[in-house]
Structure 1
Amino acid sequence: MAKLKFIFKKRYLIIIIPFLIILFLHLLLLILPYSDLDNFLNRQYSLEIIDRNGNLIYITALDNGDRREFVSIDNLPKNVIDIFLKCEDKRFFYHPGIDIFALIRSFYMNFTSNSTISGASTITMQLSRIISPHKSGYQGKITEVVNALRLESKLSKKRILELWLNSLPYGFRAVGIKSASKTFFCKNISLLTESQVVSLAIIPRNPNEYNPLTSQKKAIGKVKSVLKSINIVENESKIENEISQAVTISYENRNPHFIEYIKNEITDDEYKTGSPIYTSLNLDLTYYIQNILKQNLENLKDFRITNGSVIVYNNQNGEILVYIGSKDFDDIENSGEIDGIHVKNQPGSTIKAFLYADAIEKGFLPSSILPDIPMDFGSSEIYVPLNFNRRFNGPVRLRVALASSLNIPSIYLVTRIGVQNFVETLKKLDFESLNGQEANIGSGIAVGNAEVSLFELTRAFAIFQRSGYKLKTSWHLLKNKTLYNTDKVFSDYTSFIISDILSDNKSRITGLGSNSILNTNFNAMFKTGTSNQFNDIWCLGATPEYTVGVWMGNFSGETVIGKTGSGIPASIAVKTLETLIENTGNKDFKRPDNIKKELICPLSGELITPLCSGGVYEYFNKNEIINSCSFHQKRAGEVYVEYPIEYSKWARDSGKIDILPGLSSNEDNLEIVKPKNNAVYYFDPSIPAENQAVRLEVLYTKPNEEIKLFVNGKYKESLKYPYEWFFPLNIGEWEIEVRSNYQNDKINIKVH
């Protein structure tokens, strides 16, 4: 009995000891670090970049130019996996990484033939060789076996098979089965025939010999042989036909500028997973708008307009729907490879939308009267701004000034609210391009003489359709998400008023005429612009749901020949929005609850009275107190217009009145109209010092007489009608006095 127990224990130890040894080795291999594997698992894959409708935009290449797309083993057809296993390792799921039977067979065949005619590498061993390349020979083979065992201890069979299929070297810049399927047969894996799958299974053995692109005859012969060995019966002519269909894919980049823009924003994790990237881009719409852009540019080549850019945002979530960096990326002659969406250019009058919004935030009303009269802002020779139509309109309401894009009221506004204050507002709107330009920014910022990008400009313009909340842009597909968790820069009232003004067809007649391309049959706001040297023409447009920005010009910086043509980008913006609302329908701008509508005098911007000749409606905050019209007066039974004194010269020159109401040419009335007493001026660093001056304008009712001018008590010169003089803008405090034979008037100004 004792002997039986001893025998049983001995047999038990014979079984348990090898098991414990195997278990120990497995745990040891599992615990020991394998840095090559860690690096391998962190490598990047090529990515499919997909548009919002499922269209392929591009497949990214690796740094070395290869394409290695990832496919999950769960997404591979079963017959593909079965064929690869039969071809390479039919006992894969039954061995621990090395196939003893295959090793014995390989040793016997190689020994008896005195040459290497059969290998014994399992799929795990092949993967270990890919992860940790080694030299040939017995030492290398031992390393391969050890690493295979390490892989088996650390990874599941399914994961090993998946990594192997995605890492097979095919040559021709293709790595992995998914890229190989496209490279050799221009197909997705699911569409491959059995013969074509076998072809992909054997190419890695010898890419030069077995690829069907350059070695078709040998490839067909090998496929026939392998099909027979794995017991798949196929008609030979069918095999030949299917393999001869080999044709490589052209990895076309269908939007190079967009791809370049997003490549640096794709995360390392996204590259590591290899999953498709679904973007917000609408490729079909992009092509449609790009063709419209090309057609317009073709008609403008004689005007030296050779390029353009377009971008469209979804106002609700910031998705980028259209991204056109240039007319044609491959147009080398016109620098088509440059992405105009991010090039900094002078935005011209498009910047006025934000200036007027800033002014309303700081207390101006849409009915506030602004001067559109000859004025200087720092220079008698260099900077006396003119409107585009070279006319002066006298007192204009803020609404009309913005809708008609008048220059002089805009520069007046920026001097009133402060240049630096406006620049700070622009920075709040994320105009990062302004950083570093501050020292050179003066009052000309009102007409857009600082440089910004189309990306920034269009993004900021969307704020008016978001109740004053900034737009955070996204190139990822967000579907129906609405994102408003951003900073609020403008009030609901300001956002609505700017939207209403820039969609007001009647108010833009003064500057743009009655037949403007911007007079659409759907609710949309627009702002056009031209840089001061006519290098760039722009249009921004927005509906409640979408915002579009269009730039046209040339990347060489040449001046556009002839008229400014801001109607050209405007027509593209209109067509873009028109196309977009076909799916969404025409929608109204969001109107705040706390506003009221009042009938005002179109001349004074104040509440209409019986003396006014007509009225227009304007929106105000409910608590806003509006005065009655002060322009229309009645004397001796007649109604006349009494313009504020600063408009007297304009009124006389334009034939509105001869002299100010209530004044007689027999009276000796003398008054300094401009500048105002205690006015403060700032030296503008963007203009040469010798060209900076303040215009002195004097009202005197005896135009045939001279008046004398004194500065700080010292006589300067005598002035004749129209009694104007330019005072050099020198830093300090100055007393300016004018004297007639019987009257005098004086003011004080400061220059900082």
Structure 2
Amino acid sequence: MEPWDRMRRRVRRAVASLPGLALILALAAPLARAQVPVPFPPDYAAVRADWRPSDARLLASDGRELQRLRTDFSSRRGDWLPLAEVSVALQRAVVLSEDRRFYEHGGVDWLASASAAWSSAWGDGVRRGASTLSMQLAALLDPGLRRGPGGRDVLQKIDQMWAARALESRWSKAEILEAYLNLAAWRGELVGVDALSRVMFQKHAAGLTLREAALAAVLLRGPNAPLPTLVQRGCALLRELGRPGECRGLRDFTQAALSRVHQARFDAPALAPHWARLLWDAGQADARGEIRSTLDSVLQETAVRAVRRHLEELRGTGVTDAAVVVLDNRSGAVLAYVGSSGALSEAADVDHARAIRQAGSTLKPFLYGMALDQRRLTAASLLDDSPVGLDGGGGLYVPDNYDHRFGGWVSARTALASSLNVPAVRTLMLVGPDALAGRLVALGLPLTRGGDYYGYSLALGSADVTLLSLTNAYRALARGGDYAPVNLKARPGAGPQAGTRLYSPEAAWIIGDMLADRPARARTFGLDSPLTTRFWTAVKTGTSRDMRDNWCVGWSADYTVGVWVGNSAGASMRNVSGVSGACPIWHDVFDRLYRDHVPAAPPRPAEVTAQTVVFGQGLEPARVEYFLGDTAQARFAPPAMRAGQGSPRIAEPVDGTILALDPDIPWDRQRLRLRAADAGSRPVAAHWFLDGEPYGRVHGPDLAPDWTPRPGSHVFELRDARGSVLDRARVVVRGGRFATGAERPAGNHPDAPGTH
């Protein structure tokens, strides 16, 4: 090749390279101005104001940050950090690595450009960059100046140099460096010094060490460079910084830092992820991605701690999750919201406050409230807590109490406060399943079927609900029967919410008084339990079928609190009831709400009258009871007692019982319990007859005979000493094919061999 050709090629390489553009910048300046968008550069304050983190921020009512929610997955950006909050070591390392004459040039480092051009044309062929921090920032601010897949063309390079000079004419050096650190890409999806430091180094940017700063600085030159390259460059930079000793162990240090690129943000608050997601989806974030909520930051922390502490105590019982909702009665604002137990949960991302779960006994207050409003019951009315069999369409429905015991005649107050099942079913027989289902839907509960589908089991909570909707339905009772939806748009200090009247204030007040009555719930829960608070609260527990779900919901004059406890898989819990599962959390939350004062009980409505009542045969102690309007009366007794009769009746089996013998169990091990009771449902001695024949001797109340069932239709009778029939119960026994006649039940006499 001729010497002249070699010279021409070298000049062309110099002109085509970025540094070589410095030689012709002055000549090309007019053309460059035509290529750069006008106006440029943008205002520093505007650039900073336009910065958006990739996370939305949930703020409590006091402005405290409670949660960050990833909403932009194009890159991972943190907050904009002022230069004063960035480690001086990082500032020094970046300037030394990227633009050592940053504080001396006016946007273009002519010396570095000339040196790079000469090296490119006559040197070893290795390209050396001369792009200053100002030039790099200009490219970050203007997409048209960014490097494409094939690199920058000549005009782009000229534009970038002109833009850097324009930037230097309006921005200070501190503003340029600050903006660059906040806008630069570091590694993977990390953009900005805040994301870099909090994710990759798990600390605040102000605390970055010299070694961390050196690694960060070399990442700017090659954000996705391999580990050996980063270690080599980092060590070289540390030597320039006068700390060669930091190179020792740098490879392991770098590898550990790179492994954290996808970890969670350092010290990011995680107190309300599910509520943040709900509000974000509801469009409650502002233009800056901030979600201003009504959550009380201290109360939210209390609820989260209570969930974790009590679930740790329940470890080994099948309980791994819980949810909490706290509502302001007047405004409908959400003051605390815990969707799961977090790290203890098997499905932490599932919002259990909005998951469909079986309601259990928590629906009973709405049933009794309807019965009071319809004047079908009073709080002192007596209900029969004894076995009952109802036609369930597909068979006989026989409800039972939680403790498998029956209490005889009890008042509606005791039945509701002690959560007795059979009286609730009898009350639903008065109100009707369709009417109750309609009322529950009006209360915002997500029932998808009519009352005929649920039948009488609706009284015991066979419908599915969510904790959020259930807590808000209880808020209607706390508001005197006035229903209003949860106010997602509420702001701190929101005023009272308008609602729809579903219960009379009088019925709602009486229901609250019944649920706040410690002696009335003592039969099931005792006098001292987590249901008891040092101030007035009305509270109800619930446990779903097979102990899959555990509820505790209650209210004061100001707040309504709901708690669910269970597990994500819906598996049964072991030895966990409402009192031991959900109620301790409920109690802790209410204690926090009234830590500094004791609230007054809700005032009694003028239309509620007080009356001293007594109960026949001493069924319950005399007390002052409350009535709607003219429903008051002074004495309550079962119908049979009023007539002066006390005839025994068959308590078990229920008339119409259908049994199926299990062929896998020996016939002589299968039994049907027989029990007679008086009008007060107390066990009594009785003369039993089976299919018209005497069934053994007269048995006392503690010696009730058991019967070994045999296939067919049978009739049990109770008779008095003169042979008069007092009560009758029909029983049908199905199945039970036995291999030989010897294996078939030989008789019905209770004293026959093998029957006891």
Q: TM-score interval w.r.t. the shorter chain?
A: 0.5 to 0.7
1:587 aligned counterpart, secondary structure:
coil
Pairing 1:82-101 to 2, within 5 Å after superposition: 99=107, 101=108
2:419 aligned counterpart, secondary structure:
coil
2:521 to 496, 499, 508: 508
Look up the match of 1:170.
Answer: 186
Identity score, percent:
19
Give 1:110 deviation, angstroms: 1.2
Q: Alpha carbons of 1:178 and 1:517: their partners in 2 closer, same or farther (altered >3 Å)?
A: closer
Q: Distance in 1 between matches of 2:99 and 2:645?
A: 96
Look up the match of 1:308.
Answer: 321
Give 1:499 deviation, angstroms: 2.0
2:520 aligned counterpart, secondary structure:
coil
- The answer as to whether partners of 1:280 and 1:474 remain within 8 angstroms in 2 is no
Q: Distance in 2 between matches of 1:250 and 1:632?
A: 66
Q: Distance in 2 between matches of 1:402 and 1:462?
A: 18
Look up the match of 1:425.
Answer: 439
Residue 183 of structure 1 aligns with an amino acid whose one-letter code is: V
| Structure 1: gaps of 5 or more residues | 1-20, 32-36, 228-234, 606-610, 634-639, 659-697, 706-719, 728-752
Residue 175 of structure 1 aligns with an amino acid whose one-letter code is: V
1:219 to 220, 230, 234: 234
Q: Alpha carbons of 1:186 and 1:46: their partners in 2 closer, same or farther (altered >3 Å)?
A: same
Look up the match of 1:251.
Answer: 265
- The answer as to whether partners of 1:67 and 1:175 remain within 8 angstroms in 2 is yes
Deviating more after overlay: 189-198 vs 256-265: 189-198
Q: Distance in 2 between matches of 1:345 and 1:336?
A: 17
The answer to whether the aligner puts 1:590 opposite 2:606 as a matched pair is: no
Q: Distance in 2 between matches of 1:657 and 1:371?
A: 8
Give 1:584 deviation, angstroms: 3.5
- Give the TM-score of the pair, scaled to structure 1: 0.65
Look up the match of 2:540.
Answer: 527
Residue 619 of structure 1 aligns with an amino acid whose one-letter code is: Y
1:139 to 122, 134, 153: 153
Look up the match of 2:338.
Answer: 323
Pairing 1:62-81 to 2, within 5 Å after superposition: 64=73, 66-71=75-80
- Give the TM-score of the pair, scaled to structure 2: 0.64
Look up the match of 1:187.
Answer: 203
Residue 548 of structure 2 aligns with an amino acid whose one-letter code is: N
1:566 aligned counterpart, secondary structure:
coil
Q: Distance in 1 between matches of 2:646 and 2:114?
A: 107
Pairing 1:698-717 to 2, within 5 Å after superposition: 704=723
Look up the match of 2:357.
Answer: 345
Q: Distance in 1 between matches of 2:160 and 2:231?
A: 37
The answer to whether the aligner puts 1:289 opposite 2:296 as a matched pair is: no
- The answer as to whether partners of 1:525 and 1:543 remain within 8 angstroms in 2 is yes
1:569 to 563, 576, 581: 581
Give 1:142 deviation, angstroms: 1.9
Give 1:343 deviation, angstroms: 3.1
Look up the match of 1:207.
Answer: 223
> How far does the alpha carbon of each residue in 1:213-265 deviate from its partner, in whole angstroms, 9 at most, with x for none?
9946743642674x7xxxxxxx7589999x98996675379887942553353
2:113 to 106, 111, 114: 106
Residue 523 of structure 1 aligns with an amino acid whose one-letter code is: W
> How far does the alpha carbon of each residue in 1:397-440 deviate from its partner, in whole angstroms, 9 at most, with x for none?
322221121222222322322322222221222212x1257663
- The answer as to whether partners of 1:400 and 1:508 remain within 8 angstroms in 2 is yes
2:474 aligned counterpart, secondary structure:
helix
Residue 293 of structure 1 aligns with an amino acid whose one-letter code is: H
Q: Distance in 1 between matches of 2:528 and 2:518?
A: 9
- The answer as to whether partners of 1:62 and 1:68 remain within 8 angstroms in 2 is no
Give 1:513 deviation, angstroms: 4.4
> How far does the alpha carbon of each residue in 1:365-418 deviate from its partner, in whole angstroms, 9 at most, with x for none?
434444444444325962132333445545543222211212222223223223
Residue 442 of structure 1 aligns with an amino acid whose one-letter code is: G
> How far does the alpha carbon of each residue in 1:646-675 deviate from its partner, in whole angstroms, 9 at most, with x for none?
9996999644599xxxxxxxxxxxxxxxxx
- The answer as to whether partners of 2:67 and 2:272 remain within 8 angstroms in 1 is no
The answer to whether the aligner puts 1:551 opposite 2:564 as a matched pair is: yes
Q: Distance in 2 between matches of 1:78 and 1:323?
A: 36
The answer to whether the aligner puts 1:45 opposite 2:60 as a matched pair is: no
Q: Distance in 2 between matches of 1:490 and 1:27?
A: 70
- The answer as to whether partners of 1:527 and 1:540 remain within 8 angstroms in 2 is yes
The answer to whether the aligner puts 1:362 opposite 2:374 as a matched pair is: yes
Q: Distance in 2 between matches of 1:516 and 1:647?
A: 38
Look up the match of 2:13.
Answer: none
> How far does the alpha carbon of each residue in 1:39-79 deviate from its partner, in whole angstroms, 9 at most, with x for none?
x9798613455667888766544665852113166986798
- The answer as to whether partners of 1:309 and 1:551 remain within 8 angstroms in 2 is yes
Look up the match of 2:708.
Answer: none
Q: Distance in 1 between matches of 2:216 and 2:676?
A: 87
Q: Alpha carbons of 1:178 and 1:519: their partners in 2 closer, same or farther (altered >3 Å)?
A: closer
Look up the match of 1:619.
Answer: 626
2:727 aligned counterpart, secondary structure:
coil
Q: Alpha carbons of 1:518 and 1:318: their partners in 2 closer, same or farther (altered >3 Å)?
A: same
> How far does the alpha carbon of each residue in 1:136-160 deviate from its partner, in whole angstroms, 9 at most, with x for none?
344386289389969989xx96999
Q: Distance in 2 between matches of 1:657 and 1:57?
A: 57
Give 1:128 deviation, angstroms: 2.9
- The answer as to whether partners of 2:327 and 2:472 remain within 8 angstroms in 1 is no
Residue 507 of structure 1 aligns with an amino acid whose one-letter code is: A
Residue 601 of structure 1 aligns with an amino acid whose one-letter code is: V
Q: Distance in 2 between matches of 1:483 and 1:699?
A: 61
CA-based RMSD: 5.6
Give 1:519 deviation, angstroms: 3.7
- The answer as to whether partners of 2:516 and 2:537 remain within 8 angstroms in 1 is yes
- The answer as to whether partners of 2:89 and 2:209 remain within 8 angstroms in 1 is no
> How far does the alpha carbon of each residue in 1:605-630 deviate from its partner, in whole angstroms, 9 at most, with x for none?
9xxxxx99974212345xx1245446
Look up the match of 2:553.
Answer: 540
Q: Distance in 2 between matches of 1:548 and 1:177?
A: 42
- The answer as to whether partners of 1:257 and 1:339 remain within 8 angstroms in 2 is no
Q: Distance in 2 between matches of 1:436 and 1:484?
A: 29
Look up the match of 2:396.
Answer: 382
Deviating more after overlay: 347-356 vs 280-289: 280-289
The answer to whether the aligner puts 1:402 opposite 2:416 as a matched pair is: yes
Residue 190 of structure 2 aligns with an amino acid whose one-letter code is: A
Q: Distance in 1 between matches of 2:624 and 2:583?
A: 29
1:458 to 447, 468, 471: 471
- The answer as to whether partners of 1:280 and 1:475 remain within 8 angstroms in 2 is no
Look up the match of 1:682.
Answer: none
The answer to whether the aligner puts 1:493 opposite 2:506 as a matched pair is: yes
Residue 319 of structure 2 aligns with an amino acid whose one-letter code is: T
2:581 aligned counterpart, secondary structure:
helix
Question: When the two structures are aligned, how many residues end up with a matched partner?
Answer: 612
Q: Alpha carbons of 1:477 and 1:188: their partners in 2 closer, same or farther (altered >3 Å)?
A: farther
| Structure 2: gaps of 5 or more residues | 1-29, 41-45, 652-674, 682-716, 733-756
- The answer as to whether partners of 2:388 and 2:422 remain within 8 angstroms in 1 is yes
Give 1:344 deviation, angstroms: 2.2
Q: Distance in 1 between matches of 2:391 and 2:581?
A: 33
Q: Distance in 2 between matches of 1:657 and 1:438?
A: 31
- The answer as to whether partners of 1:469 and 1:490 remain within 8 angstroms in 2 is yes
Q: Distance in 1 between matches of 2:322 and 2:158?
A: 55
- The answer as to whether partners of 1:543 and 1:577 remain within 8 angstroms in 2 is no
